[in-house]
A and B are shown apart, each in its own frame.
Chain A
Amino acid sequence: MWRFVLKRVLLMIPTLLGVATLIFFMMRVVPGDIVEVRFAGESAFASKQTLELERKRFGLDRPLWRQYLDWMWGIVRLDFGRSMWTGAPIVEEIKLRFALSLQVAVMATVLATLLAIPLGVLAALKQDTWVDYAVRVFSIAGLATPSFWLGILIILGLLIVFRWLPPMVYTPLWENPWQNLQQLVWPALAVGYRYSAVATRMTRSAMLEVLREDYIRTARAKGLWQQLILSRHALKNAMLPVLTVIALEFAFLLGGLVVTEQVFNLNGLGLLFVEAVAHRDYTLTQALVLLVAFAFIFVNFVVDLLYGVIDPRIRFR
């Protein structure tokens, strides 16, 4: 077990280094740099000398390999430096945005799970009846509805029906939970629908497979009540693939909320990322990509570990 954990942790390192390297060189390939972007409006007035001086300030005049090694050395020491655009430490820059994105992702996960598991189980139990068809159409539609469009429709609905708009300014959960929820429940709903659709489909198919197993028949033959069979025998065994898709979607949401954040005007990681790229803020972009990739890899790792906890038959190698 511990050997497995160690091996998996060690395997994360080359992947993360690969991501770090890739984004470093990708950003340098993108035309323009922060100095040009900053002086874009007044380029006519900024002399070449000023531009060179500014570049020097950011260390952009040094050879590429020096910059690369500096960035790598920074990662090793967990020092991500300062944002080129605002000058604030990256950690400070990201903290609040991350809290927001994380909260929306967590809320969407809770919503999706609460919806998906009962619906999926129900559809599997009533396979090929109208209940099953309804659930399936509902979930395929969920996969097809762009979350940003659903977001627009939600805003439109609130506006037309209730003559009310969610608050525009972000309030942290610990300051005013009610205000905070009023703002964030809508984006969570918009992304949660698609999310629940993915999970519902997985729950249904996993349940269908498990319900055909011999041990379910045995349990039925013993005269166990349906509810006990479902919760103890069927659901527990069907949960592995469901857990996987839920976890992967969660990891995806952390960095993939860009479009939804745009619709709801939320200052989360996604918008920060778009801004960082637009500003050619190398340090911030690199740190953000590394953070999101780390979240993805870490969630994968946790899922692998949970597999063993839920299903003791799985042995770690």
Chain B
Amino acid sequence: MALPQPAEVWTDLPEAERPRWLAAVLDFCRRRPLGAIGAAVVVLNLVAAAGAGVLAPYDPLATDYGAMLAPPSAAHWLGTDAFGRDVLSRIIYGSRTAMLVGFSAAFLGATLGAVIGVASAYFGGRVDLLVQRVMDIFLSFPLIILALAVVSILGTGVANVILAITVPMIPRAALVVRSAALSVREMPYVDAARAAGYGHRRIIFRHMLPNVMAPYLIMLTAFLGQAILLEASLSFLGLGVAEPTPAWGLMLSGAAVDFAERAPWMAVFPGLAISLAVFAFNLFGDSLRDALDPKLRTT
């Protein structure tokens, strides 16, 4: 008992005293700098969304007819739009819409898809076949058309946009998670759970779902960027968030195109905000995927 065990030696070092999550974060930053940059921009977006009220120099809805289509200046860093509204403030507030829609839709789509995928793989047989056919139908349904239909039925607004984006994501997540769940189903612990007499629901939620976390997280991060892009497209078409709510896609529609030559800042900056956010989510997602599952690095 004279010599301490190696494990004890390590616990004496200050580095290991850091909480485990912090160590994991630092490790992630060191190994995947691109992913860390992506994560930083994502955090920046979240901060902008949460603190829009403090960060934005102007009220995003306040019109100023004295300063219509004003070019970028000290007063309006990114210029103003056709109603004299400050573009920077609208972009900052727009991140609220983007983050809300992006996170909700990605989470709902990936989660519902994962549950359907796992259940489909677990039950197998006819249930699986039927579920697969239904998913096929939704997959072959053009995405924008599905969204258009949802918005036509329910009307515009943030909640409906989230729903419209979630629906087409479900079959895509179900497809990926199902193929992972097929191999999980053959694992001894699932047999054991069945032998122990657990119900279907408990086996699906407690035993199988936690074991398809890697593909689930990968789909989730991939969906984040896509959801933001889709929200922008829908808002651009006038099918998403309605004026005067600040949303990036909305800022690009209508007047931005008409005044593009006179006031290019109106068309350039909101698009830049979309691209930067999606770019960051993709960078982060890619690195997370590499870290989580080396086998899936291929795509």
Q: Which residues of A contact B (CB under 8 A)?
A: 14-15, 18-19, 22-23, 26-27, 29-31, 140-141, 143-146, 148-149, 152-153, 155-156, 159-160, 201-202, 205-206, 208-209, 241, 252, 255-256, 258-259, 262-263, 270, 273-274, 277, 289, 292-293, 296-297
Contact = CB atoms under 8 A, between A and B. Distances in A.
Contacts of A205: 297-299
Given A140-B286, A156-B261, A289 B236 contact: no
Contact of A15 (B133, B225, B232, B286): B133
A241 B142 CA distance: 22
B1 interface: no
Contact of B271 (A146, A160, A241, A293): A146
Given A26-B149, A26-B153, A140-B279, A209 B142 contact: no
Contact of B149 (A15, A30, A263): A30
B297 A18 contact: no
A296 B252 CA distance: 30
Interface in B15-35: none
Nearest to A254: B142
Contact of A255 (B142, B261, B276): B142
B153 A262 contact: no
A144 B225 contact: yes
Contacts of A160: 261, 264
B144 A153 contact: no
B229 A146 contact: yes
B260 A152 contact: yes
B267 A153 contact: yes
B137 interface: yes
B153 A152 contact: no
B142 A274 contact: no
Contacts of B142: 252, 255-256, 289, 292-293, 296
A262 B239 CA distance: 13
Nearest to A149: B271
Nearest to B226: A143
B261 A159 contact: yes
Interface string B277-298: 1110011001000000000011
A284 to B, nearest CB: 13
B236 A148 contact: yes
A259 B225 CA distance: 18
Nearest to B280: A144
Interface in B228-276: 229, 232-233, 236-237, 249, 252, 256-257, 260-261, 264, 267-268, 271, 274-276
B198 interface: no
A145 B275 contact: yes
22 contacts: A14-B133, A15-B140, A19-B141, A27-B149, A30-B149, A144-B274, A144-B275, A144-B276, A146-B236, A146-B271, A148-B233, A149-B252, A149-B274, A153-B271, A156-B264, A159-B261, A252-B142, A252-B143, A255-B142, A259-B233, A292-B142, A296-B142
Given A143-B225, A255-B144, A259-B144, 19 more contacts: A15-B133, A19-B141, A141-B279, A143-B279, A144-B229, A144-B276, A144-B277, A145-B275, A146-B229, A149-B252, A156-B268, A201-B299, A255-B145, A258-B237, A262-B237, A270-B144, A277-B148, A289-B141, A292-B142
Interface string B108-145: 00000000000000000000000001101101111111
Contacts of A14: 133
B211 interface: no
Contacts of B148: 273-274, 277
A152 B252 contact: yes
B183 interface: no
Given A30-B153, A148-B252, A18 B257 contact: no
B252 A256 contact: no
Contacts of A156: 260-261, 264, 267-268
Given A30-B152, A149-B271, A205-B298, A143 B260 contact: no
B298 A206 contact: yes
B279 A144 contact: yes
B282 A143 contact: yes
Interface in B191-216: none
Nearest to B264: A156
B149 A256 contact: no
Interface string B176-194: 0000000000000000000
